[in-house]
Structure 1
Amino acid sequence: MFDIEEKRDAHAVVNVASVPQRSPFRYPGGKTWLIPRIRKWLKQDQSVVNLMIEPFAGGGIVSLTAAFEKLANHITMVELDDEVSAVWQTILNGKNRWLAERIFNFDLTHDNVNSELTKPDKQLSDKAFCTILKNRVFHGGILAKGSGMIKSGENGKGITSRWYPKTLRDRILAIGYVKDKIDFIEGDAFKVITENLNNEGAYFFIDPPYTVAGKRLYTCYDIDHEELFRLTSLIKGRYMLTYDDTPEIRQLAEKYNLEYRLIPMKTTHHTQKNEIIISDNFSWWVENDLR
């Protein structure tokens, strides 16, 4: 079965500039480039999805797109990383305006950044601000241990290369208009998936830390990939599971009899590679249609 599907990867690479940018994060491994496909997936039953669950929320672009474009009535975002979680809790639980203005009014210098990041005993909202700060001034937006500040950056702009205070403020304030649709859980993706296995009306968008780059990119990278495949195979609702295209991942898909397609994407270094999209069905999949 998989030999046929491996030939179905003749797609154009999505221009991410054509997709509305909703998230305050520049998230490594984010799925902005996949949004045209995700729209098709969410519309497959020709009605608004009642519940969409994103167990590895990260930068949240899929949840935000579903909320803003009215593709789902209710959305559950789950994230284990306490820094990323602090951002979503602050935005979704009533302090989005505080965070937006804190970012907009911050004087971005090396001294000021270091002062903020080294402050002890941070409140949740302060941790959220520092997370956005690190995400915007660290190489590649990487929050994992070992990452450091941008040096030269774009056109020699250094740490200001990715610091767009007005844009960030506008995005965070905009999320306030859809936050009532979104429930956020700081917790374990596996637990939330298990609790919702039998929910036939749920749509799961599952984008875990990948096997190859996860350790370098994320703090919470160490997951049981085979257990995730096993759980996915038990889901009664709809699901889309994304992974890097490796022999190990293909073997797990075959072991649990999960159907997949290949799709090209460009990395941050502008090289093209394939990713694997695993789904309960591909009736929604249209070749070379990226609208």
Structure 2
Amino acid sequence: MVAVHRVVFSARAPKLAQRILEFEFTREHVLKTLHAEPRTELDRAFQTIVRNRVNRGGILAPGAGLVKHGEGGRGLAQRWYPETLAQRIMVLSAHQDRVRVTQGDALNILEQTPFSPGTVIFVDPPYTAGAKSAGKRLYTHHALDHERLFRACAGLRVPWLMTHEHDPNVMALAWQNGLSWRSVKMVSGHNVTARELVVGRDFRWAEGLGSLLLPGTVTQPSLFGPDNNLEQVETTAEYPPQ
């Protein structure tokens, strides 16, 4: 995905958009693109976008299968909307002078982030902290020291927000670092409604959001609670407890 971001936020964005518009979307051409060895970063960016569009759930990890039937029987083409993709790329590219793409150790970056007015950080790690985490099969680079991540976020001097999996291990990490969380509804790539966690220093800013943040009980998380029943899990906490 780094290649996609680098190309989108550069002068090469129009070439990527044009390649998408001109691509003859057939199974033969898709497979040829997926198996080709990219010669340039532009080639890799285009290949990544095609892979994301034709793999089930947009999964890029090795072994991910291709879409078979798709919505409305469109098969591989169910998520291939060239005009929309090209338009979005150009909209993002218009802000390239305000974006810097960095490929590196995110934990080091978080730990070295100084206070700077106007800086806000959104953290979206691979969901691999739980015993049955989906991220271990969804991402090639899924290994992460989650304890270090939570310590780094707790020490940040700028506003930040993290999304994470709905798991007691994540709640415990938040609690241990003096952080709060809220449970929110989300829809998976398979159109299944589930829950995930939003973690932050506090949620006073969200008091007027109403039903976006699900109600819960102020409690320390239990690692042995009925976490297999989402309707019974206590998923909201403030630190320190009231």
TM-score, reference length from structure 1: 0.67
Aligned mates of 2:107, 2:30 — CA distance in 1? 35
Tell me the equivalent position of 1:104.
21
Contact 2:10 2:93 in 1 (8 A): no
Which ranges of structure 2 fall in alignment gaps of 5 or more residues?
Answer: 213-242
Tell me the equivalent position of 1:218.
139
Once the two structures are superposed, the pairs formed by residues 145-224 of structure 1 within 5 Å of their partners are: 145-199=62-116, 201-211=118-128, 212-224=133-145
Once the two structures are superposed, the pairs formed by residues 74-113 of structure 1 within 5 Å of their partners are: 84-113=1-30
Paired AA for residue 263 in structure 1: V
The aligned length equals: 207
Tell me the equivalent position of 2:229.
none
Q: 2:160 aligns with which of 239, 256, 270?
A: 239
Tell me the equivalent position of 2:237.
none
Displacement of 1:261: 1.7
Aligned mates of 1:161, 1:270 — CA distance in 2? 14
Q: Which has the higher mean CA deviation after the structures are superposed, 244-253 or 191-200? A: 191-200
Tell me the equivalent position of 2:219.
none
Q: 1:280 to 1:171 in 2, by over 3 A?
A: same
Q: 1:271 to 1:115 in 2, by over 3 A?
A: closer
Identify which of structures 1 and 2 has the higher relative contact order when contacts are C-alpha pairs closer than 8 Å and 6+ apart.
Answer: 1
Aligned mates of 1:235, 1:98 — CA distance in 2? 38
Contact 1:150 1:159 in 2 (8 A): yes
Greater strand proportion: 1
Paired AA for residue 234 in structure 1: G
Aligned mates of 2:89, 2:184 — CA distance in 1? 31
Q: 1:200 to 1:259 in 2, by over 3 A?
A: farther
TM-score, reference length from structure 2: 0.80
RMSD over aligned Cα atoms: 1.6
Paired AA for residue 252 in structure 1: L
Summarize deviations over 1:15-65 as a string: whole Å, max 9, x none: xxxxxxxxxxxxxxxxxxxxxxxxxxxxxxxxxxxxxxxxxxxxxxxxxxx
Q: 1:89 to 1:100 in 2, by over 3 A?
A: same
Q: 1:139 to 1:270 in 2, by over 3 A?
A: closer
Displacement of 1:166: 0.7
Aligned mates of 1:238, 1:271 — CA distance in 2? 31
Q: 1:288 aligns with which of 194, 198, 210?
A: 210
Displacement of 1:208: 0.5
Once the two structures are superposed, the pairs formed by residues 17-96 of structure 1 within 5 Å of their partners are: 84-96=1-13
Aligned mates of 1:157, 1:183 — CA distance in 2? 37
Aligned mates of 1:205, 1:97 — CA distance in 2? 28
Q: 1:130 aligns with which of 25, 47, 67?
A: 47
Aligned mates of 2:187, 2:38 — CA distance in 1? 39
Structure 1 stretches of at least 4 aligned residues deviating more than 6 Å after TM superposition: none
Tell me the equivalent position of 1:248.
169
Q: Which has the higher mean CA deviation after the structures are superposed, 116-125 or 263-272? A: 263-272
Q: Which has the higher mean CA deviation after the structures are superposed, 262-271 or 135-144? A: 262-271
Tell me the equivalent position of 1:24.
none
Contact 1:139 1:147 in 2 (8 A): yes
Aligned mates of 2:148, 2:200 — CA distance in 1? 16
Q: 1:93 to 1:287 in 2, by over 3 A?
A: closer
Paired AA for residue 126 in structure 1: D
Rg larger for = 2
Aligned mates of 2:96, 2:118 — CA distance in 1? 21
**SS of residue in 2 equivalent to 1:168:** helix
